Each structure stands twice: as C-alpha cells, then as structure tokens.
Amino acid sequence: MNSKQTLWAGVLAAVGASMCCVGPLVLVSLGLSGAWISSLSKLEPLRPALVAVALALLAWAWHQLCRAPANCEADEPCADSNVRQRQRLIFWLVSVALILLLTFPWYAFLFY
C-alpha cells in the first residue's frame, strides 16, 4: 500500500474503533434517537483490535512519508518537494483527528 492508501485505512480503522463511543453522541447531536443506538455498544470488544490497526497504519504512513526515501522519476508528482510537504501536512492533520477519535472515551464525560 502507498502512503495515501495507508492513511485512508487508518482513518477507517479509527472511525471503527470510536464507533461505540462517538457514534451515539453524534447521532443524538443530529437529533436521531432510539433504542437501536445502544446496539453500537456491541462494537466495544472490537475496539482494542481496531485501535491497534489504526495505530499500526498511522505508523506505516509516517514511515512512508518521513523516513523512506521517495522513489520517483523526475516527471512524477511525488518528486516535487511541495507535493511531499502537502502530503506531510495532511498526514499530521489527519493524525491529530484520529488521535482525538481514539482517545474520546477518556474525555467523553465532558459531552454527556
């Protein structure tokens, strides 16, 4: 997987890991309610595995963007330093959002 695919996979894993905690809050905030929202708590046993996957994919994307040398031809977009810099900026913005999602259970009491 390239760094873009790894980053998207990490986002999906983090969303899956936080679905048990953030999902009900978002749905209630949007005005949706019902007993079925409590069924999202059944995803809690999957949370540790999804957190591990999200962190592993973030680490892989960081390695690809910051540590591994860029193997690009001169005419490819990845050879441009501006493109690489934007990719790193997007990576760090997404990483902050993912960390906030993954740590939501520790500060969720502030919203309920």
H helix runs in the chain, sequence order: 3-18, 22-29, 47-62, 81-102, 104-107
- Residue 95 pLDDT exceeds 80: yes
What's the rounded mean pLDDT across residues 3-26?
Answer: 72
Express as a percent the part of the chain with pLDDT over 70. 78
CB atoms under 10 Å from CB of 85, counted, come to 10
Q: Average per-residue pLDDT in the chain? A: 77
- The domains of the chain are located at 3-67+75-110
C-alpha 82/C-alpha 77 separation (Å) is 9
The pLDDT tens digits of the residues spanning 48-92 come to 887 888 888 888 888 888 887 767 777 776 667 787 888 889 889
